[in-house]
Amino acid sequence: MNIQAQSLQHATPPESFTSPPLTPPPTEEKATSSASRIIKQIIKEIGDRQQGRSSTDVPWAGYTLDPEGYQVLLDQLQSDDSLWGFLQDKLRYDYFPSANQFVLRMPTIVHERFIAQIVEEIQVQLKSVTGESAQFANKIGSYGSASITFPDQDYGKHDPDAQFHHSDAPYPGVVFEVSYAQKRKDLARLADDYILGSDSDIGVVIGLDIEYRGSKKATLSVWRPNVITNDVGEKELVAEQVVTNQVFRHSNGDPGKSGLQLRLRDFTTAALAEGRLRDPIDISAATLCTFLEHAEERASFIKRQSSVVSSAKPWTRKRRREATPPEGLRRMDEKRFRTDENKVEDQATKDDSSYKTGSTSGVESS
């Protein structure tokens, strides 16, 4: 009896057979749950930005998201016309399938003003090209941050900081990316996607790194396409970094020795350039420094102004203009008005005719 009692004391409780021990969820479930959280986080951030607020002021905010999750994100955003329209019209974002990374861009004032001045300078130089190259230069324009996508989706989607596009070419010839701490590590990956994704039609990718903490140092890097032979004798297209962290502004603010050096033929494909178009499009280090200083001064001015208490205003309220119907509705209203007007005129004519007929009868009867 004692043996039986002891064996019962050590027996497995009945509920253990009906309630198996808890096990961690499968890896796939964990991944799905994680992706869902990230998708919700991204959508919330986009919504916050639409409302004029944001949980982050990071200019290059990255989120880990695989291609399947990225497609789910796009599907959910497209189901909301307001959010989707805001994302397409007002925000800039990138997706790197090779790194499972989604990025929301939020350029700073320094960033935007600096690149704007560079674009303006290049446009001036393009307009000054003369001779046989002038007609070619006239077909090159700034396409801003228009999205760049590729037939091979492995190279993702990107919204560059600036780009110059020849009207006869399928892709921009020159792409600019302004970099800072968070974005610096992704510059080479961006260059890969641009050059490889376009089959080398994007011939120059320029990275301008303007944020070195505690220093005025600023550098530029350049990537160009190159064809190499791999270990098994195959030809491979690569994005080769031909300029690496070239200093155009030293830590004390002085300009470096070399600036940005391009040729007119860089702005289109090799087939369109045909080996000609050697006209220089250069921006010296001193000019780049001036542009960056102006951008920094502008940002500093705006920051100071935002902290200044506004002076008293001579008004007590503000009134928006009265809402007016869309042009299409106005035209419809005008057409309807003319139709109604014609009806009134027709009716008046009939009434007048009836009156005249009646009057004549009366006169004759008399």
- Tell me whether residue 327 is in a domain: no
Residues 175 and 95 in one domain: no
Tell me, yes or no, whether 43 and 114 share the same domain: no
Q: What is the mean pLDDT of each run of 10 residues along the chain (366 residues)?
A: 38 45 55 87 95 85 96 97 95 97 94 98 97 94 97 98 97 96 92 98 97 91 97 97 97 96 94 86 98 95 72 75 66 60 59 48 40
238 and 98 belong to one structural domain: no
Same domain, 76 and 119: no
**How does strand 60-64 pair with strand 218-229?**
unpaired
The Cβ of residue 310 has, within 10 Å, a number of other Cβ atoms equal to 6
pLDDT of residue 364: 41
Q: Could you list the residue range(s) of the whole structural domain that residue 40 is in?
A: 30-104
Query: 182 and 277 share a domain?
Result: yes
pLDDT (0 to 100) of residue 180: 83
From the list 100, 84, 18, the residue with the least C-alpha distance to 50 is: 84
Integer Cα distance of 69 and 42 in angstroms:
11
- The structure's pTM equals 0.77
| DSSP-H helix ranges across 15-127 | 15-18, 27-50, 67-78, 81-90, 109-127
Q: How many residues does the chain have?
A: 366
Last residue of a domain, one of 76, 104, 132: 104
Whether residue 73 is found in the same domain as residue 164: no
Same domain, 63 and 165: no
Query: Rounded to whole angstroms, how far apart are CA atoms 290 and 278?
Result: 26
Can you say whether the dihedral through the CA atoms of 104, 106, 112, 115 is positive or negative? negative
Final residue of a structural domain among 275, 305, 335:
305
Max alpha carbon distance in the chain (Å)?
A: 142
Specify whether 81 is located in the same domain as 169: no
* Closest to 198 in 3D by CA, of 237, 159, 228, 171: 171
Tell whether 200 and 128 lie within a shared domain. Answer: yes
Is residue 25 in a domain?
no
Q: State the pLDDT at residue 271.
A: 87
| pLDDT tens track for 73-132 | 999 999 999 999 999 999 999 999 999 999 999 999 999 999 999 999 999 999 999 998
**Domain membership flag for residue 192:** yes
User: So what's the pLDDT on residue 287?
Assistant: 99
The predicted structure's pLDDT at residue 149:
98
Helix, strand, or coil (residue 212): strand
Please tell me the total count of domains within the chain. Answer: 2
